[in-house]
Amino acid sequence: MASAPRAHSPHRAFKSLPLVDISGLDSADPLARQSTIDELDRAAREAGFLYLGGHGIPPRLIEALKARAREYFAQPPERKMRDYIGQSVNHSGYVPEGEEQFAGGTVDHKEAYDIGFDYLAETGRRPMLGPNQWPALPGFREDVQTYYAAVLELSNRLFRGFALALGLPEDAFTRHVSTPPSQLRLIHYPFNPSAPADRPGIGAHTDYECFTILLPTAPGLEVLNGAGEWIDVPLIDGTFVINIGDMLEVLSNGAYVATSHRVRKVAEERYSFPLFCACDYDTMIEPVASLVEKHGRRPYEPVVCGEHLYAQTIQTFGYLKHRLDAGELSLPSGAKGLSSYGRQSALEEA
């Protein structure tokens, strides 16, 4: 999920993203493990974006996910709208083009299918935590759930790695991750050669959550470096793309800063599969106390993880905006407006 880009960046003027092989996080050799932690820390501080190798996700899971996405989005619009996200209880389902609109008013040229943590229990449900809406397409639920579970476990490895990189106990973040409102999006960017050149796949933004694990199928992603230049992110086989989000910026007390990124007008049909990795719904997101003691508090206001995600989602998705306007729901107490979290950017959305 997305928020406004930043005005100033501590990142370096990188021309390409660093690649970190995280297989060393599981090494029995303390030196190899520490070397991997140091690489992860350096990439997070200097770029806020990286390629991730050594992740261990089987290729068959990735290929099955891609196949299900192609099959689903090839269906007629009226068939996809049977799974419209506005019918769900946990913000899951089909997102037609034009449903989302960010602070700059840009309508992105894409469609999506969103799923979250499939929380089946009756107790403890929240506005974005509950049972997923699944389409009737044979095999879709099984293949997407299998991929979700594998990448969610990968996110826990990264949570542990980032904690160690910040000098924190290894479970500093994972102790707050049991049934998180972490959302997987299956995004389809159709190729339309007649679309206006200034109409992006998605405009410039940072992500709300702690970090994102992204699997793209074609070029199009661009990242803003510390010199204010848009850097292309080509595909590297066998890797994911990881980016720091707003919440890890806050938790790290500004040691890691979310990086602005966008998807330009695509030159070919493109699919993208981001998993937005969050803490549990009721987790208070604020700078970790030991990092404040060490470096002094940075100007971050605490927010409740799930409530902040829900507030931003209400203000972004058409079906929720309509319910808000009709008085059928209300924003959580203390909710921030769109583009008000973190520093504002002088850049306009592309």
State which residues form the domain around 106: 2-325
- Give the pLDDT band (50/70/90) at residue 106: low
What's the pLDDT tens digit per position in 265-279?
A: 667 899 999 999 999
Domain count, the chain: 1
Own/partner pairs, 226-230, CB within 8 angstroms, 24+ separation = 226/9, 226/10, 226/11, 226/12, 226/13, 226/14, 227/13, 228/9, 229/13, 230/262
C-alpha span between 150 and 276 (Å, rounded)? 14
pLDDT at 119 over 80: yes
> Does residue 235 lie within any of the structural domains?
yes
> Does residue 333 lie within any of the structural domains?
no
Single out the residue of 245, 287, 258 nearest to residue 7, CA to CA. Answer: 258
> Does residue 332 lie within any of the structural domains?
no
C-alpha span between 91 and 130 (Å, rounded)? 9
CATH number at residue 87: 2.60.120.330
Concatenated DSSP letters of 50-82: EEEE-----HHHHHHHHHHHHHHHTS-HHHHGG
**What pLDDT does residue 265 have?**
61
> Does residue 25 lie within any of the structural domains?
yes
**What's phi and psi for 216, nearest 5 deg?**
-100, 160
**What pLDDT does residue 282 have?**
96
> 287 Cβ partners below 8 Å, 6+ apart?
250, 251, 252, 253, 254, 297, 298, 300
Give the mean pLDDT of the chain.
89
Q: Are 112 and 272 in contact (CB under 8 A)?
A: no
> Does residue 349 lie within any of the structural domains?
no
Structure tokens, 236: 């590297």
What's the pLDDT tens digit per position in 196-252?
A: 555 445 667 788 899 999 999 998 899 998 888 999 999 999 999 999 998 999 999
